[in-house]
Structure 1
């Protein structure tokens, strides 16, 4: 069991709040947008979802 991490790049503002709050370094800023480069490490805590003011991040159980 794990988590699917999706970043809507159209909504992402690249403010890096998700990068700062993620305890397992799922995100990196690339070309001004957040990318889930280590999605397999996601704990499903949804801290990133809570801090993303743009509503660009979705986490679902897989």
Structure 2
């Protein structure tokens, strides 16, 4: 069982906090927005959700 990570590009401010805090490098920055590129690595810790001040990230169980 894995996790589905979604970033609302309209809400994302591009501060890259999620990139910095993710222990398994799920995100990378593309065009100043966070993009979940390694979603299969997600541990479901929701650290990214906690640091995202724009409330742009959701993590759901698959």
- Pick the TM interval, shorter chain: over 0.9
- Per the normalisation by structure 2, the TM-score is 0.99
Aligned to 1:6: 6
- Normalised by the length of structure 1, the TM-score is 0.99
Q: Residues 5-44 of structure 1: matches in 2 within 5 Å?
A: 5-44=5-44
Superposed structure 1 runs of 4+ greater than 4 Å apart: none
CA RMSD of aligned residues (A): 0.3
Ranges in structure 1 where 5+ consecutive residues have no aligned partner: none
Aligned length: 62
Gaps in structure 2 of 5+ consecutive residues: none
